[in-house]
Structure formats: structure tokens, C-alpha cells
Amino acid sequence: MAIHADDLAKEDLLDRYVHARMRLRALSASADNPNLRTCTRCGERVEMRRDSGGWSVCPACGRYA
């Protein structure tokens, strides 16, 4: 969707850029780290820990994944 030059304010452009970079950073972080997942119980997006049996555990709520 194109925006006419007269309707585009510098603040809007900067805000859109910053939000796009934040979304891109979040996507690349999850792509680089396979243990970064959303817990099905608490809904937190965390890096899962491994217990001694090799199971993944949510550090926020303690549920096994």
C-alpha cells in the first residue's frame, strides 16, 4: 500500500521503521534459537530448559514441553 508524500510525516516513517526492525529482530531471534518457544500452559515466550532426562521445561511455570 503506497502512501502519498504529502500524507507521510517523518514521525510516522520513523515509527514504522522502528516497529518493523523490532518484528524482524524477534523473528530472527526465534530462528537462531530453536529452544525459544511459547509455553502451552502460561503463554510466555521463553527459552526452554533441558532437565536431566532430556525433556524441555518452561522456566516460567515449570511445565514439561
Predicted pLDDT at 57: 92
pTM (global) more than 0.75: no
Cell of 13: 516513517
Domain boundaries, the chain: 5-57
Which residues lie closer than 8 Å to 4 by C-beta, 6 or more apart?
none
SS3 for 17-63 is HHHHHHHHHHHHHHHHCCCEEECCCCCCEEECEECCCCCEECCCCCC
Give the residue-averaged pLDDT of 54-61.
90
Predicted pLDDT at 10: 60
Q: Residue 9: which pLDDT band, with cuts at 50, 70 and 90?
A: low
Distance between start and end Cα atoms, the chain: 40
Predicted pLDDT at 43: 87
Per-residue pLDDT tens over the stretch 23-49: 887 766 556 677 788 888 998 888 888
